[in-house]
Structure 1
Amino acid sequence: MSGFTLDKQTPQPAPDAPIVLETVAVRSWKAPIAFGIFTVIAFLLFVIWHRDGNSTFRLSSDGDVIQLPTVVLPSTVTGIVVTILLAAITALSAYLVTTGKKVPLWLITVFGVLFMVGFLSWAAAGKAIPITGLLLGTVALSVPLIFGALGGVISERVGVVNIAIEGQLLAGAFSSAFVASVTGNAFLGLVAAMIAGTLVSFLLAAFSIKYLVDQVIVGVVLNVLVVGLTSFLYSQVLTKNEALFNSPPKFPRINIPILSEIPLIGPVLFRQTIIIYLMYIAVAVVFFCLFYTRWGLRLRAVGEHPQAADTVGINVNRTRFWNVALAGAIVGLGGAYFTLGSVGAFNKEMTAGAGYIALAAVIFGRWDPLKATLAALLFGFTQNLQFALSAIGSPVPSAFMLMLPYVVTIFAVAGLVGISRGPAAAGKPYVKG
């Protein structure tokens, strides 16, 4: 028997044994790299080029019933402490990625808040910043972005890439100004804005769903078309008689009893116009319906796997068409805010790229209504920050402040969002059979 050798056999699974699929964690270093870049910036600004003096943050305005104490922070010490904390968070995020874990959203939020506290303390050294005014401006600038982001989420969740948000906002702004001016009724202007946004969406849906034209190309063409059409009508119609055609009544601010007296939050959220209150409702309704109703389940099924949805009896193209139209109506409300809640009159290209920033908020928010709303608020905050710092005479160059919203947009989408996957069928036309 010594001449024989036995080969060690690999045990084979039983025929009826369950098959276990191994999953490989995909590591994304985007968040740690972005954290590292901002930490280096913080070290240079807050430590190397520190500014002496105290920064004052006023948390209440003179008309508030309940007055919050003013917060005074030493700029240099605050900058050093913030830089140390940012470095610690950067190291923690790198450790999480190394161990195959995901960098949580709350950690990204804490990092952003800390960096902003340090930046404001540095920029406002020896000055005072009214926090209530800063947040009020943030909400005002975020309204069109939030409506645009909600429309973008619905449209892309159902499988249609909505590049035409800019055109829908501009069409809503023009229609609301014209109709409200002629009729003298701001509510009719609001309805006209929704109809205008829906009409632009009809064109997007018809060409991309029925005629299978590339959705991105259709969206870009529609944006150019709406810009040209509204500019032509503005110069040929509105400017001929502005008193009749371009003097819309604005919605007044409505104070919600009790809620409007809450310190800091009350003046910012509950002393607003009806459009902003509609925005609160829209965010809640879209989120609930998208994830907790049959309509939302069908919509998401069409955007993820249209063939499977068709198999169970869902009319894919009809579902896409009407939901894209609904998205346009929601975006149109955001356009109405420009003329009925903010500026008060229509001007050429007054949306100024808000539709594209709203589209970035959709991606940053990972096609979730609540996260997209938070992303839109972030972009609105960066836009308003340039006005606040200019008002207090900050040393930050005005050219940098003008580009700050777009820099934050790029970092948010490319750096902090990590691995992001949109609806699987977004941008892909569906042909039955």
Structure 2
Amino acid sequence: MIPMDTLVADSLAIALPILLAALGGLFTEAAGVLNVALEGLIVAGAFSFAVAAEATGSSALGIAAALACAAGLALLVAAAADRLAANPFVAALAVNLLVAGVVGIVSEQVFGTKGVVPLAGILSPRTDLGILSRLPFLGTVLFRQRGFSYLLAGACAAAVVLYSYTPFGLRVQALGMKEGSLRIAGVDPRAVRYGAYAVSGAACALAGVALARSVGAWVPNIAAGRGWIALVVVYLGRKRPSGLLFAALGFGVLFALSNSAQSVLSL
């Protein structure tokens, strides 16, 4: 049986990418139309990171490429709805399908395979904070996570602050509740909506990078449904950051228990 501290640590690590993607989705939901392309954006972010990091040898450039690609695709969804009067849900689903198709083609051209691609130097190591990492229970749960998990936790905190305590976040919420109030205040609702979609893309990009770095490779279908789960988290959390946290943790526990059960049954 998996030790309790390991189970909790694994649950947190699994929950963080889901939570960040869900927070990105929350911005678009608050702006009036939930971006249902989260699954595709996570995959696009992870793949862009893998290609750029492998080509340049720089994780930082890989992250920048992931942010640019996923945010760009999210803005494409927003533009299709705004400029072409397309149904935003259909446009987002089209992006999911587009990413699934293009990634396989590009992977074969760049890596010579549509399968798993190991990435040298990409695996995020577990931290060792000395005495803190050796504390009973808390040491394993909080101080022996993979390094990128701390960046993800910081990104989640930043997203909550941006959503709840900044003028931009308050404008996003006002857009979904009463768009006319923004016009009266001299704020362009379209710009706010585009900003919300860009945030959702950036959040999914970091979630995708985290998944790639957690296994040290590009893996087809690396999101494994996490984008769809993030959409569920938005509603299970009743569209509140605190609610999203608990919902994401719940899914993290379920995934960790599932992984543990598979390990036990395979022995």
- TM-score by length of structure 1 reads 0.57
Instruction: Judge conservation of contact 1:186–1:251 (CA < 8 Å) in 2.
Output: no
Partner of 2:19: 146
Sequence identity (%): 34
Aligned residues: 265
Residue 261 of structure 2 is matched in structure 1 by 389
User: Is the CA contact 2:70–2:201 (under 8 Å) kept in the aligned structure 1?
Assistant: yes
Q: 1:86-105 residue pairs with structure 2 within 5 A?
A: none
Unpaired runs of 5+ residues, structure 1, are 1-127, 395-433
Q: 2:2 matched to 1:129? A: yes
| Distance in 2 separating the partners of 1:242 and 1:391 | 23
1:185 corresponds to: 58
Aligned partners of 2:115 and 2:220 also within 8 Å? no
Instruction: Answer yes or no: is 1:350 the counterpart of 2:222.
Output: yes
Mapped to 1, the partners of 2:146 and 2:10 lie a distance apart of: 14
User: Which has the higher Rg, Structure 1 or Structure 2?
Assistant: 1
Distance 1:257 1:312, change over 3 A: farther
Distance 1:242 1:153, change over 3 A: closer
Q: Write the distance in 1 (CA, Å) between the matches of 2:147 and 2:88.
A: 33
CA contact (8 A) 1:247 1:344 kept: yes
**Divergent runs of 4+, >6 A:** none
Match of 2:166 in 1: 293
Q: Out of 301, 304, 307, which is 2:177 matched to?
A: 304
CA separation of 1:252/1:320 partners in 2, compared to 1, >3 Å: closer, same or farther? Answer: same
Conserved in 1, the CA contact under 8 Å of 2:115 and 2:219?
no
Name the SS for the 2:112 alignment partner: helix
In the alignment, residue 380 of structure 1 is paired with which amino acid? G
Say which structure is richer in helix.
Answer: 2
Corresponding residue number in structure 1 for 2:201: 328
1:345-394 deviation line (CA, Å, top 9, x unaligned): 11222212110001101111111223212211211211121221233349
Match of 2:76 in 1: 203
**What pairs with 1:270-281 in structure 2 (closer than 5 Å)?**
270-281=143-154
5 Å-filtered alignment, 1:163-182, equals: 163-182=36-55
Unmatched 5+ stretches in structure 2: none
Alignment RMSD = 2.3
Which residue of structure 2 aligns with residue 33 of structure 1?
none
Distance 1:187-1:287 versus aligned 2 partners, 3 A rule: same
Cα deviation, 1:69-108, whole Å, max 9, x if unaligned, reads: xxxxxxxxxxxxxxxxxxxxxxxxxxxxxxxxxxxxxxxx
Of 356, 366, 375, the match for 2:238: 366
Q: Answer whether contact 1:286 1:369 (CA < 8 A) is retained.
A: no
Report the counterpart of residue 39 of structure 1 in structure 2: none
User: Matched residues in 1 for 2:257 and 2:114: separation?
Assistant: 36
Counterpart residue number, 1:265: 138
What SS does structure 2 have at the residue aligned with 1:392?
helix
